Structure 1
């Protein structure tokens, strides 16, 4: 399957699509026994503001097949003080990587992470970082298999998150 990663997503055109994908992922995770995305089932104003901020900064990307079927999305940030604190590192952070159920198991997430990594290397970034709920052992193992190393933990109001990074240069 060939992936198309659409450029930065505009607020008015894709806001509902982003929200629907987040709700889709929250439902799937809940059904799989991981409940930390439950906030997206009925998002608070704080969560909606987080999403709106990312949309306004052009940080959300939509994923499509070459046939224009929507596969999923992710948010790419170049600073993340909430999870990683203030840092001078040249790093990029992925949040909210979502792949729709009918595309799971086809290597989409791996292809997306590899494509982002390649782009970051070409832009001379030093680190590729992400986090996940420490109770989501499947996702933790997935990131570790993809070459990310656990470098810390952070207690958030909704979960204990593990911090992962991959050194690029």
Structure 2
């Protein structure tokens, strides 16, 4: 999956002081998670992973800034993200980064998704451009 994302130019990294500070992936379709809303023109951010050396540096704000510009350059209407479960701390943090919390969604067809999505309820987030 990661090799495919790299070959399709959908895997990104943020470099600080010549070190990988964080990585993330994007996609332009996410029907298993966003269901009927997947018909919209959107950029979906997935799997933000931060190098422990750089935790606490508010790196999601940089990713959001980049994502908004990338989405606008590609004529997309939304930047979207999800997280598994109802983590109130994460919900608050993503809201501070500019996302609107859209609520919880119980996933239905998760066969093609990574295991942590199986039988999951997700929190959905969106920035309207």
Question: Which residue in 2 is equivalent to 1:165?
Answer: 126
1:110-162 deviation line (CA, Å, top 9, x unaligned)? 11211111221233211110001233222111111122112242224253211
Matches within 5 A, 1:114-133: 114-133=65-84
Higher strand share: 2
Does structure 2 conserve the Cα–Cα contact (< 8 Å) formed by 1:63 and 1:72? Answer: yes
Note if 1:82 corresponds to 2:43. no
**TM-score normalized by the length of structure 1:** 0.62
Q: Which has the higher helix share?
A: 1
TM-score (norm 2): 0.79
- Structure 1 unmatched runs, 5+: 1-49
Larger Rg: 1
1:105 alignment counterpart = 56
Between Structure 1 and Structure 2, how many residues are aligned?
118
- How large is the Cα RMSD of the aligned pairs? 1.9
Gaps of 5+ in 2: 108-117
Residue 57 of structure 1 is matched in structure 2 by 8
Task: Please report how far the alpha carbon of residue 56 of structure 1 lies from its aligned counterpart in structure 2 after TM superposition.
Answer: 4.2
Higher relative contact order (CA 8 A, sep 6+): 2
Q: Distance in 2 between matches of 1:158 and 1:145?
A: 28
1: distance between equivalents of 2:99 and 2:13? 23
Partner residue in 2 for 1:21:
none
